[in-house]
Each structure stands twice: as C-alpha cells, then as structure tokens.
Amino acid sequence: MPVKPDYLVSAGQIHYGWDNTIKPVMTVASGNVIEFETVDASGGQITPSSNLDDVAKLDFSRVNPVTGPVYVKDAEPGDVLKISIISILLSEWGWTAVIPGFGLLADRFEDPALYIWECDPKSLASARYLKGARVPLKPFPGTIGVAPGAEGEHSVVNPRRVGGNMDTRDVSVGSVLYLPVEVPGALFSVGDGHAAQGDGEVCGTAIESPMNVTVKLEVVKNMQLNFPRISTPGPVTRHLDADGYEVTTGIGPDLLESAKMAVGDMVDFISSSRGLTPVEAYMLCSVCADLRINEIVDAPDWIVSCYFPRVVFS
C-alpha cells in the first residue's frame, strides 16, 4: 500500500543556500512522512523549449534550489537524522547540459550543449537519446541535507558533512540516508531531482528533472556519525547490468587526472563506435556511465575506470 504523507511542502517554498537562520516552512515530529515538491536544478531557467542560449546565460545564483527547510522536533546537535526515501514521482521531462567552465572535461568541452529528454513517470521506461540510445531511469534527489552549524550562508553546489549536493544515485527509493545533525531541528531540505545519473555525473549534469520526493524523517539519539551514511535495499546497478559494460581506464598518481583520462577515452570510444559527436557522447556518459576506483594501494599509480553499460545501445 502507498504511504500517505502527513504533510506536503510545495515547490514555492525553496531556498538557494544552506543557512541555519532560514525560517523553517513547517515543524514536524520524528516519524512523520513528508512529500516535497521540487523544481529542477536550473530553478526553472531551463524548460522543455529551451535552447543553447538559455544554457549560456544560466544564473548560477539560482541553481540547485532545495525545498524546505523542515524543522524536526527533538533533533539536537549530535543526533542523527534518518531519512527513508519512500517514493519519488518523476515529471515528464528532463534536461542534460554542458555548461561552459563546469564538468570534469571542462577544458575540452568549452561550448554549451543541451539535450531535452522525455520521461514516462508511470512506467519509468528507458528514456530515448540520440542514435538509438536508451537510458534506464533511476530517479533520486541530487541534493538532500540538513543545515550546517557554521554561521552564514553556504553554497548549495558542494556537498558537506551534513549532506547537500551529494549527487549520489543510491539515495533512491527504498534507501535510507543518515545525516549528522548540527543545529536544533536539523532543518531538512531536498531538491535537484535526477531521473538518471552515472556515478560521477561527469559533464556536471544528470537528467535534471522536477519531481516529488516523499521521505520519512526520524531522529536517532546516541548514534555516532562523522559523515553521511547510506543503506540500500538491494543491488544498486541492476538497471544497467543486463548486457555488461565497456570499460576504459586512467592510470597515474592523481585520482582526478586518472578519472579525466578514463572519461576522455570513453567519450572517444562511444563517439567513434556509435556515431555520436564527442559532446553528445560526453553528456550520455554523464547520465549512465560509472566512475570506479579499481585500485588505490599499488603506489604510486592508482587506477580509475569508466564503466559504460552496453544495455544503452541494445
């Protein structure tokens, strides 16, 4: 049976930075279920009818808005907030873009690019891309967190100890996220919905999409937690595993540079083998290819690999 939420927080109740002085939109009890209406990561600047000009003129002060915050009774600094992802209602569209100056290969891809996706929120059928590609969907909120204890406004672009822009695909339906609480009431917010994303989100965007996220919030006392922890309900790549993977590697003493090598080679491989332009292949990798650290003990060189799921073209 679907879980009926106790409260609804509308998409009109958003903020653009983490700040523990932001007035909560409501107060809930530990154990309540809340549905959050979220807007896309552009804050409405990109729409289904957008073009490259809209990407080029993005106002970064309006990106990654989150819905909230919600004050949770009895949550105190030193506690942990347990967030159970109950359900996600995806919208019918999403976007992926290359934003100049942003992304793992920003030095290589300097011009804006944009692809508008069509999504089926009921079936969650794989979304169509170019050259016959179809990307399996696995919706999740890219930004989810509580307010930091430090005073002042903090950017929503980067993740931190109390969550934030984690962009972690496994925080999806059935998963449980645990976050350290640093301020009274925790001040929980969520947004930045992704219909699909590869681990790494290499071009800087996923399939960015508005969505409704329903969560159960519970206060956990006497639980020591230094950073976010996630518990998943089962396998995490089952939607991608069916036909195996193509894998490229980067090897060297710097993990970031190795990641760039692996992704760059995968972009070249997908582009040449599937008839996509390099930037089209780059965006496709961002929404479905996974970066993995294969080896980090054989000093001085580590291995980072890019895993591209062959099911996308099957």
Last residue of a domain, one of 194, 225, 256: 225
pTM above 0.85, yes or no: yes
Mean pLDDT on 232-249:
98
307 is a domain residue: yes
233 is a domain residue: no
Q: What is the tens place of the pLDDT at every residue in 15-36? A: 999 999 999 999 999 999 999 9
Range of the domain at 263: 245-313
Mean pLDDT on 209-237:
97
In single-letter form, the type of residue at position 200 comes to G
Q: What is the tens place of the pLDDT at every residue in 114-164? A: 999 999 999 999 999 999 999 999 999 999 999 999 999 999 999 999 999
Of 308, 309, 304, 301, whose CA–CA distance to 292 is shortest?
304
29 and 144 inside one domain: yes
122 and 251 inside one domain: no
Per-chain mean pLDDT for the chain: 97
184 is a domain residue: yes
181, 198 contact by CB (below 8 A): no
220 and 255 inside one domain: no
Residue 1 pLDDT > 70: no
Residue 3 pLDDT > 90: no
Count structural domains, the chain.
2
219 and 274 inside one domain: no
- pLDDT at residue number 2: 76
32 is a domain residue: yes
123 and 216 inside one domain: yes
49 is a domain residue: yes
d(CA 104, CA 130): 22
239 is a domain residue: no
64 and 99 inside one domain: yes
Q: What percent of the chain has pLDDT over 90?
A: 98
238 is a domain residue: no
